[in-house]
């Protein structure tokens, strides 16, 4: 197989999910991917889904003070370990996820992922491991006598070998 | 205080409206929504349901018909008298609450 020149994202550049006590809404959906340039995934072989999640659940101390409960989980799914013509570790169907067990009224949770048009190459020239870095912005808005906002933005990386980084955490064990 | 446009977005508890920039407190007249202090009908010792709506200052709770005074003397040990759904938090407290609530990233 010839050397892979670049890893590109031919999917979407923005995914935006939103939730409140009434449910979850996909404001802007779709998937991102990390394939060799000029390749749309046709003929790809294999792949296994990976998922990482982060959980927010009200603590008892704060519940004692506010009597407000919330419980939601934000994650990232991607299909790793995809090979092309027998080599490489590419990625497809990268998307953030949002699950809600409970949100009070006056609470909204926004998750927005911004993907670049290009990813990164790791591994060797003849067995490329694709990496896709993106920003994951999480915003929580609530009303506690006044409108309040909390925001966290992280630079997340998912890899074709199943490893990942979501600072300050990371998973370094390849799963292919 | 500006008049509230009839189509203004309201907060689910009805206490705030959105002026296009920020949430504004609804100026409720005493007859409409201010916690009543003179009805005298509330048995001070009546248990307050855990999910009862509280006034913003935490001093009253809604019994489904009218506002009742929270009898602070009945609060349990360590209870915060200002606790309630109407609890006012600062931005720093809101941040601390959410920071405390989050766990590490896990696989699966």
Q: Does B54 touch chain A (CB under 8 A)?
A: yes
Give B39's pLDDT tier (boundaries 50, 70, 90).
very low
Whether ipTM tops 0.95, in short, is no
Minimal C-alpha gap between B90 and chain A (Å)? 8
Minimal C-alpha gap between A148 and chain B (Å)? 6
d(CA A150, CA A21): 17
d(CA A49, CA A155): 21
Q: Does B17 touch chain A (CB under 8 A)?
A: no
- DSSP secondary structure code for residue B35 in this structure: P
d(CA A21, CA B15): 17
Give the A:B interface size as CB pairs under 8 Å.
94
Give B1's pLDDT tier (boundaries 50, 70, 90).
low
Asked if residue B10 has pLDDT above 90, the reply is no
Give B71's pLDDT tier (boundaries 50, 70, 90).
low
d(CA B87, CA A59): 16
Q: Which of A48, A70, A146, A164 to mutate to test the interface with B (most CBs of B within 10 A)?
A: A146
User: Are the CB atoms for B43 and B70 separated by under 8 Å?
Assistant: no
User: Are the CB atoms for A12 and A31 separated by under 8 Å?
Assistant: yes
Asked if residue B50 has pLDDT above 80, the reply is no
d(CA A129, CA A65): 48
Residue B67 pLDDT: 73
Instruction: Give Rg (Cα) of chain A.
Output: 18
Give B43's pLDDT tier (boundaries 50, 70, 90).
very low
Q: Does A22 touch chain B (CB under 8 A)?
A: no
Which residues of chain A register pLDDT less than 70?
Answer: 1-4
pLDDT in tens, A102-141: 999 989 999 999 999 999 999 998 899 999 999 999 999 9
Helix or strand holding residue B22 (H, E): none
d(CA B15, CA B84): 14
| Shortest CA distance from B55: residue in chain A | A145
Residue B18 pLDDT: 80
Residue A8 pLDDT: 94
DSSP-derived secondary structure for B50-102 = TT--B-TTSSEEE-SSSEEE--GGGPPTT--TT-STT----HHHHHHHHHHHB
Phi-psi category of residue B49: left, alpha or beta, with phi > 0 → left and psi -120 to 50 → alpha: beta
Mean pLDDT to the nearest integer, B35-45: 40
User: What burial class does residue A172 get, using C-beta atoms within 10 Å of its C-beta: 0-12 exposed, 13-18 middle, 19+ buried?
Assistant: exposed
pLDDT in tens, B85-105: 557 889 999 999 999 999 999
Residue A90 pLDDT: 95
């Amino acid at each position: 197989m010839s050397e892979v020149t670049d890893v590109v994202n031919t999917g979407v550049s923005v995914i935006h999910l939103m939730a409140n006590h009434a449910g979850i809404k996909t404001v802007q959906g779709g998937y991102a991917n990390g394939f060799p340039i000029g390749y749309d995934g046709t003929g790809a072989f294999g792949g296994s889904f990976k998922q990482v999640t982060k959980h927010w659940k009200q603590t008892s101390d704060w519940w004692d003070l506010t009597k407000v409960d919330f419980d939601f989980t934000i994650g990232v799914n991607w299909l790793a370990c995809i090979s092309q013509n027998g080599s490489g570790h590419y990625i497809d169907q990268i998307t953030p996820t949002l699950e809600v067990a409970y949100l009070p009224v006056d609470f909204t949770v926004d998750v927005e992922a911004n993907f670049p048009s290009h990813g990164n190459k790791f591994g060797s020239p003849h067995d490329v491991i694709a990496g896709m870095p993106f920003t994951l912005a999480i915003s929580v808005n609530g009303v506690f006598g006044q409108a309040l906002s909390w925001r966290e933005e992280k630079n997340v990386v998912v890899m074709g070998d199943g490893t990942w980084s979501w600072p300050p955490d990371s998973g370094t064990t390849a799963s292919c | 205080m500006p008049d509230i446009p009839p189509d203004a977005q309201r907060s689910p508890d009805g206490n705030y409206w959105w002026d296009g920039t920020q949430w504004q407190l609804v100026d409720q007249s005493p007859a409409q929504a201010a916690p009543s202090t003179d009805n005298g009908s509330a048995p001070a010792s009546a248990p307050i349901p855990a999910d009862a709506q509280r006034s913003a200052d935490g001093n009253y709770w809604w019994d489904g018909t009218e506002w009742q005074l929270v009898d602070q003397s009945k609060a349990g040990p360590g209870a915060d008298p200002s606790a309630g759904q109407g609890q006012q938090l600062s931005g720093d407290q809101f941040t601390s609450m959410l920071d405390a609530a989050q766990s590490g990233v896990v696989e699966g």
